[in-house]
């Protein structure tokens, strides 16, 4: 009896012969994907990002069933979701705060990659796919913020679409094309809704490419050295369980905000219906755009401001070549480690400046921050690779822990 | 398959009829796809009904000197300010070399008392403050944009701040002494 295959085993084999999807998943995030055994908790954030994306797509699908994408009705339909639709408030707060947590998780994921040099050869395309995901996230989040059609929705949309008017010669035509009219209006809301529904699925597609590119060299690790087969463990159950713990912690924090501080990352002006004739005295984007917004406002020229704004993201695409050091992990690069934390502090400082009116001290600080941001990539990283003497690398992941203590 | 192709291989260049068919099919397909993309993209441009909402008429006889009104044209605010003699004097006496976007005041008005402008900051599209008595008018007595701090003078010209151009003058005409048509 025990040698006989169970009915489940037979069903599995029958299905595998026809569509080997279960074994495929096992190779992607299961027992057949060997991952370095020394991954720390910073390596949780890829899985956590996937969880947030799933939460956003699911809540978004159900919100769409009660939302009306029309300039006259959008604001009221969002309020109806909050007041009348069963559990509408929890769906909306999960969705709006979910976007914030998606950015928190992804920004940590990106800083993890920068600290441990995960963008370096042979993972440049993996890094690019991640940056494309970040760009799509920004576009999706921006268009989603327009949908409730409050004052911040309207004026945020106006300011950001007007960035394109800085393009020489065709700028005004490009902006009219984006708006479908002469100002942000119903056609704009309609197309933003269409694209806000589409882009998350495009993100899912690029996530597939991101994971595919990850599986060619395999995961980087905190030591940044190649992991020998003996230094790897199967992703399942080792990292599925470690990630599950991380998901539990993430959900605790996320739902604490959803239930007890759901508007803490929003702006009260967005509870005022959009008014095309009154600009709020102080327009601020959502927090995850603030560092880039500070860079935009730090430059006193419109075209140059937009160029630096776009450049602050585009420069990340060439990061693998700007960083001339062949040592990946900051663990073995004491000077780089210092510059990394200065850079992280600069990004936080820029975020603060972006939230303040563009005058006085915040304006001065945002100009210093903008200079440091670009200097980090254009000067510090290339030069550090030549000047810095890295600490000796261990020959294997096991070596440092197997060596007897001195 | 490769053998079949080789059997048909042409003389000098190595080009075959099959290559020609392949390349021309791909070319026609690419052109066809591009032609299909145009209607998709052009559908996003302003539609005929949006374009048709292109003129607005309003009366100016109720606007006292020193005051102004905001009317809506193509979904945008249009500022109409009845300027005082002092404001006109200030606008006309500016040295052109002080202006980031030099324009004579006379070229920006039909009647000097009535300044008519598109009320949208040329930086990033916010609506400058200054139409109400209680609002700040900036350091040059015209308008002040709260978003990124652009100052406009009493002719709506940019004087300081990130905006690259003067407030736009819309196409308009005096239908009568008291009525203006914009658009």
Q: What is the pLDDT of residues A327-367, one digit of tens each?
A: 999 999 999 999 999 999 999 999 999 999 877 899 999 99
Considering only CB atoms, B149 lies closest to which of A299, A305, A359, namely A359
Tell me whether 0.95 is exceeded by the ipTM: no
- Provide, rounded to the nearest whole percent, the portion of chain A with pLDDT above 90: 87
Residues 6+ apart with CB under 8 A from A208: none
> And the tokens for A155?
């004026």
Tell me which chain B residues have a C-beta less than 8 angstroms from the C-beta of A179: 46
Predicted confidence (pLDDT) per residue in B119-174, tens digit? 999 888 889 998 888 888 888 989 998 888 889 999 999 998 888 899 999 999 99
Q: Do A159 and B164 touch (CB under 8 A)?
A: no
Q: Do B125 and A165 touch (CB under 8 A)?
A: yes
Task: State the residue for tokens 């042979």.
Answer: A122
Residues 6+ apart with CB under 8 A from A334: A388, A391
The pLDDT of residue A261 is above 90: yes
What's the whole-number mean pLDDT along residues A75-88?
95
B148 is catalytic: yes
> And the tokens for B101?
């976007």
What pLDDT is stored for residue B66 in this prediction?
Answer: 85
What's the whole-number mean pLDDT along residues A370-388?
96
B1 confidence band (pLDDT: 50, 70, 90)? very low
What pLDDT is stored for residue B166 in this prediction?
Answer: 93
Residue of chain B minimizing CA distance to A297 = B148
What pLDDT is stored for residue A1 in this prediction?
Answer: 52
A2 confidence band (pLDDT: 50, 70, 90)? low
Distance, in angstroms, between B140 CA and closest chain A CA? 18
Determine which of A130-139, A222-231, A242-251, B127-136 has the lowest per-residue pLDDT on average: B127-136
Tell me which chain A residues have a C-beta less than 8 angstroms from the C-beta of B164: 301-303
What pLDDT is stored for residue A406 in this prediction?
Answer: 61
The pLDDT of residue A259 is above 80: yes
B48 confidence band (pLDDT: 50, 70, 90)? confident
0.90 surpassed by pTM? no
Scored b (16 or more CB within 10 A) or e, A258-275 reads beeebeebbbebbbebbe
The pLDDT of residue B27 is above 60: yes
Pairwise pLDDT comparison (B182 vs A125), residue with the higher score:
A125
Instruction: Tell me the average pLDDT of chain A.
Output: 94
Cis peptide before A237 (omega within 30 of 0): yes
> And the tokens for A213?
């590119």
Provide the angle, in degrees to the nearest 10, between the axes of the packed helices A235-260 and A21-29.
80
- Which of B8, B82, B148, B151 is catalytic? The answer is B148
A8 confidence band (pLDDT: 50, 70, 90)? very high
Q: Do B74 and A177 touch (CB under 8 A)?
A: no
DSSP B108: G
CB-CB contact of A153 with A274 (8 Å) = yes
Residue of chain A minimizing CA distance to B54 = A182
Active site residues of A: 215, 219, 242-243, 286
Determine which of A125-139, A231-245, A373-387, B70-84 has the lowest per-residue pLDDT on average: B70-84
Tell me which chain A residues have a C-beta less than 8 angstroms from the C-beta of B162: 297, 299-302, 305
- Provide, rounded to the nearest whole percent, the portion of chain A with pLDDT above 70: 99
Q: Are strands B158-160 and A34-36 parallel, antiparallel or unpaired?
A: unpaired
The pLDDT of residue A113 is above 90: yes
């Amino acid at each position: 009896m025990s040698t006989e295959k169970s009915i489940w085993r037979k069903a599995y084999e029958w299905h595998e012969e026809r569509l080997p999807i279960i074994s495929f998943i096992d190779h992607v995030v299961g027992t057949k994907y060997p991952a370095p055994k020394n991954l720390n908790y910073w390596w949780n954030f890829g899985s956590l990002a996937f969880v947030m994306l799933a939460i956003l797509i699911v809540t978004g699908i159900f919100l769409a069933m009660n939302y009306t994408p029309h300039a006259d009705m959008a604001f009221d339909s969002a309020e109806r979701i909050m007041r009348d639709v069963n559990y509408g408030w929890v769906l909306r707060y999960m969705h709006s705060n979910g976007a914030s947590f998606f950015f928190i998780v992804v920004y940590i994921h990106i800083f993890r990659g920068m600290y441990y040099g995960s963008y370096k050869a042979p993972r440049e395309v993996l890094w690019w796919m991640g940056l494309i995901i970040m760009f799509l996230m920004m576009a999706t989040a921006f268009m989603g913020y327009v949908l409730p059609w409050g004052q911040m929705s309207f004026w945020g949309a106006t300011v950001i679409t007007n960035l394109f008017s800085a393009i020489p010669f065709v700028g005004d035509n490009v902006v009219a094309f984006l708006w479908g009219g002469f100002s942000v209006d119903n056609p704009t809301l309609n197309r933003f809704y269409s694209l806000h529904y589409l882009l998350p699925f495009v993100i899912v597609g690029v996530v597939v490419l991101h994971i595919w590119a990850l599986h060619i060299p395999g995961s980087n690790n905190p030591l940044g050295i190649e992991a020998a087969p003996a230094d790897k463990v199967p992703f399942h159950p080792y990292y599925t369980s470690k990630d599950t713990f991380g998901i539990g912690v993430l959900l605790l924090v996320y739902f604490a905000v959803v239930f007890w501080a759901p508007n803490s990352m929003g702006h009260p002006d967005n509870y005022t219906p959009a008014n095309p004739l009154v600009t709020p005295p102080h327009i601020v984007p959502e927090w995850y755009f603030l560092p880039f917004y500070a860079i935009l406002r730090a430059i006193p020229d419109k075209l140059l401001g937009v160029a630096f704004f776009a450049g602050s993201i585009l420069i990340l695409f060439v990061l693998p070549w700007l960083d001339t050091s062949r040592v990946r992990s900051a663990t073995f690069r004491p000077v780089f480690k210092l510059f990394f934390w200065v850079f992280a502090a600069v990004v936080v400082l820029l975020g603060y400046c972006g939230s303040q009116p563009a005058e006085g001290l915040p304006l001065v600080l945002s100009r210093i921050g903008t200079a440091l941001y670009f200097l980090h990539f254009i000067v510090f990283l290339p030069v550090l690779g030549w000047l810095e003497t890295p600490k000796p690398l261990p020959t294997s992941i096991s070596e440092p822990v197997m060596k007897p203590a001195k | 398959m490769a053998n079949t192709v080789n059997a048909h291989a042409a003389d000098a260049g190595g080009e075959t009829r099959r290559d020609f068919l392949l390349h021309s099919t791909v070319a026609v397909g690419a052109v066809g796809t591009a032609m299909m993309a145009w209607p998709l993209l052009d559908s996003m441009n302003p539609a005929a009904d949006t374009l048709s909402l292109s003129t607005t008429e309003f009366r100016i006889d109720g606007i006292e000197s020193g005051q102004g009104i905001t009317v809506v044209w193509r979904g945008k605010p249009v500022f109409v300010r009845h300027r005082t003699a002092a404001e006109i004097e200030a606008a006309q006496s500016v040295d052109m070399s002080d202006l980031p976007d030099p324009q004579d005041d006379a070229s920006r008005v039909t009647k000097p008392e009535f300044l008519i402008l598109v009320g949208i900051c040329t930086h990033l599209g916010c609506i400058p403050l200054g139409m109400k008595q209680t609002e700040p008018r900036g350091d040059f007595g015209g308008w002040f944009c709260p978003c990124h701090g652009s100052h406009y003078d009493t002719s709506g010209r940019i004087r300081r701040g990130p905006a690259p151009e003067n407030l736009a003058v819309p196409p308009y005409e005096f239908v009568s002494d008291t009525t203006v048509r914009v658009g």
